Chains A and B, each alone.
Chain A
Amino acid sequence: QLQLQESGSGLVKPSQTLSLTCAVSGGSLSSGGYSWSWIRQPPGKGLEWIGYIYHSGSTYYNPSLKSRITISVDRSKNQFSLKLSSVTAADTAVYFCAGGGNDSDGYYLNYWGQGTLVTVSS
């Protein structure tokens, strides 16, 4: 059973870069054909897809955030990461990492981290 755990700064100043890492345990990031995603949820609001990286290394980003996002994988550490640049208060949210299938059954997220609150404030 895969387990995911987010880590990173919980407080980021406006205009700076948010950096989060998701450590994967109980299995390899490189196996199984999974895609690895970042999702966020502003306080009291719904889920927003940020982007995902395929096991192959290909990345796909939310068009509304694309210019500010980088998702990468460190296979040696079995983890993947999110960088979001030029943050504003609107980027304050609980950030989830998740993994799952992206195949003939559609896009689905079987495994989720617990989520980490990131607040953008000076």
Chain B
Amino acid sequence: SSEVTQDPAVSVALGQTVRITCQGDSLRSYYASWYQQKPGQAPVLVIYGKNKRPSGIPDRFSGSSSGNTASLTITGAQAEDEADYYCNSRDSSGNHVVFGGGTKLTVL
């Protein structure tokens, strides 16, 4: 399959840890990247490669991968982390790109 899939919604209590996952066959071969998108805004890259964070992204965001599953972990979730999160990766061909359907994170 060339798709990657995400759970539609996840919730976390303020200050707790949450993991958002992305599954797909192509993730066995290629890294996922993760984006945070708040309403009315463009997505922001938060994790790419083997757990790399762009400048300005808090270190409470981390990434990992095992088999066909990539994960984004937020350790000590803050109210401002409430957003939609998207994973993406190359597809199995290596030349095309796929996005997950997105996970809506609610911070309680």
Whether the Cβ atoms of B54 and A110 lie closer than 8 Å is yes
User: In the complex, what distance in Å separates the CA atom of A32 from the CA atom of B2?
Assistant: 28
In the bound complex, do residue B49 and residue A96 qualify as a contact, i.e. CB atoms below 8 Å apart? no
In the bound complex, residues from chain A placing their C-beta under 8 Å from that of B98 are: 49
Interface residues on A, range: 20 to 34
**Contacts of A61 on B, CB cut-off 8 Å?**
96
When the two chains form their complex, are residues B88 and A107 in contact, meaning their CB atoms are under 8 A apart?
A: yes
Question: Is A26 an interface position by the 8 A CB rule?
Answer: no
Please name all residues of chain A whose beta carbon is closer than 8 Å to the beta carbon of B102 when the two chains form the complex. Answer: 46-47
Complex alpha-carbon distance, A19 and B97, angstroms: 22
Cβ of B50 to closest chain A Cβ, rounded Å: 7
CB atoms of A108 and B90 under 8 A apart: no
A73 to B44: give the CA distance in the assembly, Å: 24
A60 and chain B: residue at smallest CB distance: B95
Chain A residues within 8 Å of B45, by CB: 100, 108-110
Answer yes or no: B89 CB below 8 A from chain A CBs.
yes
Tell whether, in the assembled complex, residue A107 and residue B52 are in contact, meaning their CB atoms are under 8 Å apart: no
B42 interface neighbour in A96, A106, A108, Cβ under 8 Å: A96
Are the C-beta atoms of A47 and B99 separated by less than 8 Å? yes
